[in-house]
Structure 1
Amino acid sequence: MTELQGLNPHLALFSVQNEAFRPYGRILKGYDFNEVMQQMEQTDIPAEGNVYLTSVKQLEQTAIKGQLQQHVYGGMEIQLGYCNGRNSNLNGLEYHKGSEINVAVTDLVLLLGKVQDIRDNKYSTEHIQAFFIPQGTAVELYSTTLHFAPCKVTDDGFKCIVVLPKGTNEPLEHKSEAITEEDELLFMTNKWLLAHPERKILIDRGAYPGIVGDNIVMMY
């Protein structure tokens, strides 16, 4: 942690154990993630970029799915997928109507913000806080927490299990005419997204260019 903080003087970087994490989420304790962690050993980290799968049968056939569905989501249907990759940039920020659970299969860093700091569909990166999540730690990110792909802390990249309400991040059946300002941010099912203008691949797919400031880089 100390070394990472020294390499990233431009970032407010904390341990997930720090009180600064409380507005964004909580560490999930009392659950056994060993079975899904073992399943993740069968997954690969791409040579470049990230890969995200919304729903993976091998993960969803584990005992932890039913426990999380009942105890964290109050009986709502959920999906278990993963995000593996080599990302080091902010690139964008998203939020969902419902918590997201991230299980750090490797050490990783999350760049987080708050929905409350969005103004006129713009979000300034000066509000970003970064949190180091050690391998084996599971966190619940509240629905008001802005987040995106994790950042790697080694050359090997990262692996992260992603749990969400069922159907989240699937393509929209149709996009209705906007009624509110927020509607402009709706990018996929239950996914509101602000992209950094530098992230042309997202802009070209229709993402709203709402990030103001540097496209933060996480050094390691």
Structure 2
Amino acid sequence: MSKLELLRSLNTNLSIFHIDDEEFLPFGRIVEEYDFTSYLNYMNEKDIPKEGNVYMASIPEMEKQAPSESIKENFYGGMDIQVGYCNGVNSTLNGLEYHKSSEINVACTDMVLLLGQVQDIVDNSFKSVNVTGFFVPKGKAVELYATTLHFAPCKVQDEGFKTVVILPKGTNEPLPEGLGKKTKEDQLLFMKNKWLLAHPDREVLMEKGAHPGITGENIELFYKM
């Protein structure tokens, strides 16, 4: 039984596909035009925390590596970028975010992304039944479109997951003090270029003032018998 088949058998409440499947097309695409070897080598030296996740938005050493300049000039059309990583032991949905830009994830371990679509947000609310899981094998890179809801990956092995995260520079930095909330969507604006819907069960996000916009089950991904 393949890892994907096992995941499907253990999570019958969730549709799980491979990023090679056509079901991924509305959410993103596989990125193959850049050589991510230097990122993968760098990430080999980075640990996975024993609890929770660690997100480093911008690592200058990674931003100086070979693919970064090409991604800045070609993928993002000359926009400044930040290259960082997210490592952790997460297994639950917890929240969904989107940016007004694409994001690149480079899987440094096998992992599953739980994804949704901005088009399914109604009155700042999103039903978790509309989430779809996608298996991303180690070494593969994906572009997540601006309309794709996403959050931290889910692990599919005991040690956890590692992924490189590439975004326009400044994304996920604190918002300016005193920023006025003028529209309904502004209720979701959580950090720079980051609109977030949290599951109310995720207390750490509630304590930080995230909008409790996810209804239904806080999906948990099971990966072993």
Give the TM-score of the pair, scaled to structure 1: 0.99
State the Cα deviation string for residues 85-128 of structure 1 (Å, max 9, x = none).
Answer: 00000000000011000000000000000001000000001110
Segments of 5+ residues of structure 2 without an aligned counterpart are none
| 1:94 partnered with 2:97 | yes
> Equivalent of 1:131, from 130, 134, 142?
134
Q: Which residue type is aligned with residue 109 of structure 2?
A: T
Q: 1:6 aligns to what?
A: 9
1:80 aligns with 2:83: yes
* Unpaired stretches in structure 1, ≥5 consecutive residues: none
2:212 maps to 209
Whole-angstrom distance in 2 between the partners of 1:9 and 1:69? 40
Instruction: Give how far 1:30 is off.
Output: 2.4
What whole-Å deviation, never above 9, does each CA across 1:146-172 have from its counterpart, x for those lacking one?
000000000010000000000000111
| 1:54 is aligned to 2:57 | yes
Tell me the amino acid that sits aligned with residue 71 of structure 2: L
| Letter paired with 1:16 | I
AA of the residue aligned to 1:13: I
Query: With structure 2 as the length reference, what TM-score do the two structures score?
Result: 0.96
- Distance, in Å, in 2 between the alignment partners of 1:65 and 1:188 is 24
Aligned to 2:151: 148
Determine the structure 2 residue equivalent to 1:27: 30
Alignment root-mean-square deviation, CA: 0.7
Partner AA of 1:17 in structure 2: D
1:18 corresponds in structure 2 to 21
The alpha carbon displacement at 1:176 in A equals 2.1
Q: Percent identity?
A: 57
